Structure 1
C-alpha cells in the first residue's frame, strides 16, 4: 500500500505528514514525500513582457533555469529535513521533487504510480479567494484516482 504526501512547508502540510506517518505505521504503508516546485512562482513569466521592454538582457532564459534549479535544490533540502525530523522507522520512504503546477503534478503522479491514498494539507483559504483562484487541495480531491485525506493546519 502506498501513501502520497505532498508537502510545501506549511503548518497544514506538516500536520498531514505527521498523520501520514501514523497511518503508515498502523497499516504498513510506504510513503512518498513530494514537493512540487512551481516554475513560474517567482514572477518572471508574469512580468516577462515588461522586462523585455525595459532591457531584454536583464533577465535571460538561463537565469530562469538557474532560479528553478535553486528552487529544486531547496525543495530537496526541505524533504531531507522532514525525513530527518520525523520518525520513519519501519516505513519505506521515497522523496521526490517535481517541477510544474502542483495540482496537476500531484494528480499525474498519483495516477501513474497507483497510490492508494493521498494525505495533504489544506491551508484553508477564504471562500472568496478559493472561488477566484481555486485550491490545490480542492482540485486533487475532485480529480484524484484514490481517496484523499485533507488535514487542516489547526489539527492538534
Structure 2
C-alpha cells in the first residue's frame, strides 16, 4: 500500500510522534522513508543578503544556526531509524514549509505524508493556519497528521 513515505520534521513533540508513527508504517509496509526538514529564515533572506556589516554578518550567523539545528534534528531522527529495519534518507531544504513539503511529495511520488499537528489555539489557527492544515488542503497524496 505505502512504498514511499515522507515524514516532515521540525523538532516539536508532535513531529517526534510523527516520526515514530512513520517508522512503524515503514516497517509494516516495507516502505522507504524520507526524513524531510524545511529550514526557514524568520525574516526574508533578501532583506539581509544585500546588507553589509553587522546585519550581513547576522544573516550568515542565523543561517548557520538554522543549519546546525537541522543537523541535530537529523542526528536524532537517524539514530531512531537506525534501530529499525527500514530504508531511509534525509533531506533539508530552504523555503516555505508547507510549500516545500507539497513540492517534495509531488516530485518524489510519495504515497503518504506523515506530519505532526501543531498546538495552535483557535485565534492563532484562524489567523495563521498551520503547516499541517495547509499540507492537508493542498496535498495530492494522503496525509497522516499526528498529535
TM-score class, shorter: 0.7 to 0.9
Q: Is the 8 A contact 1:76 1:97 kept in 2?
A: no
Q: Distance in 2 between matches of 1:84 and 1:75?
A: 14
The partner residue of 1:72 within 57, 67, 70 is: 67
Root-mean-square deviation over aligned CA pairs: 2.2
SS at match of 1:125: coil
Matching residue of 2:124: 129
Q: Does 1:59 align with 2:55?
A: yes
Matching residue of 2:114: 119
Structure 2: 5+ residue stretches without partners: none
Q: Distance in 1 between matches of 2:62 and 2:22?
A: 31
Q: Please give the TM-score of this superposition, normalised by the length of structure 2.
A: 0.86
Q: Distance in 2 between matches of 1:65 and 1:113?
A: 30
Matching residue of 2:7: 5
Structure 1: 5+ residue stretches without partners: none
Q: Whose Rg is larger?
A: 1
Deviations 1:46-70 (A, max 9, x none): 9x69xx8xxx74302x541342133
Q: Distance in 2 between matches of 1:131 and 1:65?
A: 33
Runs of 4+ in 1 over 4 A off after TM superposition: none
Shift in Å, 1:88: 4.6
Matching residue of 1:84: 79
Q: Is the 8 A contact 2:118 2:130 kept in 1?
A: no
Shift in Å, 1:112: 0.7
